[in-house]
A and B are shown apart, each in its own frame.
Chain A
Amino acid sequence: MTYQVQLEIFAGPLDLLLHLIEQSKLDIYDIPIAIITEQFLSYLHTIELLNLEVAGDFIVMAATLMQIKARMLLPKPVTLDDREDVEDEEDPRKELVDRLMEYKRIKEASHLLRELEQEQMMFFARSGGVFTDQQLAPVSDPLKGLSIWDILDAFQTILISLTPSEENLSLPVEEISVKQVMEQILRSVTLTNGGMDFTEVFRDKRSRNSIITAFIALLELIRLHRVIAVQEAVFDRILLCLGPAEEVPM
């Protein structure tokens, strides 16, 4: 599969780290590095599997995390006299925490801009009376109430549930493109009233490849706002509905 995914919905490794910290309600100034590294690596595994363009950035972050973890394991240098020099020893996590705090501010700033953008889409300027040229209305957030990491999480669960015996079944190789699957998903979402369950997308998928193809197709649909993912409450099932962008060419 040589499909190169360029999805801008993946905000980057700092976004994933913040998500992990917030999800586990951890203190950003006292991150349990071992736990976070482990969680981060499990996501990295999925991201690599999807052959995402952004994978490199995540690998760099994984290396940074492992380096910090190693430095934290090293014994503190023994000082001969009992002065409080040890206090000067910088926390190996400090640089990362600084970056995370800075990134958090960027996210806040981007939320403020998003609000302005949405407000602004309620105003229409003159367009010479041609309605087809009219400035366009706001599109709702395609990921309602959940982040891209929640979707990736749900996908991991599906990957794990795929038993090896199923994968070893010798079936004729299905040659199916992301575009074809996108059309399939759109068709089934259109047919279901009130939203299709996220797991439905993968129901008849047997091989690892077809599951990954289906997931990429779904992400692409979300990116194009043709499908909206909704989660009513945390840990609730994820529902897929038709998005506002109807006629955008794929």
Chain B
Amino acid sequence: MNLALARAAIEALIFSSQEPITVNTISDAVSLSDHTVRQLLLDLIEEYRVAKRGIQIVEMAGGYVFLTHPECAGYIEKLQRTPRSVPLSQAALETLAIVAYRQPITRAEIESLRGVKGESALATLVEKGLIQEVGRRDSPGRPILYGTTRGFLKYFGLKNLNDLPSLEDWHVMAKPIKEVTKADEKDLQAGT
């Protein structure tokens, strides 16, 4: 496969994928090395950027995806017929911030940090696919540990967890834990 065709194929793959597609998946499909795929990808991204197109290729949640340019948002909104989606509530956002920066973390720890018992925001966040159970802590009661999902990265347009905005004295403390199950580990790694 010549490189020009490979580049076109990469573009087609990203275009046809609903989810962010990883470099790994692309290189499997086009039978080229990750390195070559990455080079071609950067080239493509640059081309869209320079040409000031209405769509662009964006790195997100460990993969690449086509998104519209923010400057076009107003025009797309003109065609909206459904009610606008409501952003996360302050309570949900605070809970999510704790999970994101302090994962893996238990419900009790979140409640104590927010000073609010009976954390209903947790269920909302699990339902929205922004956080998930990532294992259990090896302490009395074996409480459930929560962590962010790949959906979380997508929602906030982050490449991975290190891409979270840094806070003074509050670094991302996420680290793989022993209790994490195989499937979750894969998901965590996709995010790191």
Contact = CB atoms under 8 A, between A and B. Distances in A.
Interface residues on A, range: 35 or more
A106 to B, nearest CB: 6
B146 interface: no
Interface string A123-160: 11110000111111111000000000000000000000
A138 B87 CA distance: 7
A51 B168 CA distance: 38
Q: Say what secondary structure dominates the interface of chain B.
A: mixed
Interface in A67-120: 99, 102-103, 105-110, 112-114, 116-120
B170 A125 contact: no
Contact of B70 (A60, A123, A132, A135): A123
Interface in B69-100: 70, 72-73, 76-77, 79-94, 96-98, 100
A207 to B, nearest CB: 31
A134 B84 CA distance: 10
Given A109-B167, A110-B93, A110-B97, A120 B155 contact: yes
Contact of A116 (B73, B83, B157): B157
Contacts of A246: 83
B76 to A, nearest CB: 5
Contacts, number: 148
Nearest to A135: B85
Interface in A140-193: none
19 contacts: A8-B89, A8-B90, A9-B90, A11-B116, A57-B115, A60-B117, A99-B115, A102-B113, A108-B167, A117-B87, A117-B93, A117-B156, A121-B87, A122-B70, A124-B73, A136-B83, A137-B76, A139-B87, A224-B86
Interface of A: 6, 8-14, 53-54, 56-57, 60-61, 99, 102-103, 105-110, 112-114, 116-126, 131-139, 223-225, 244-248
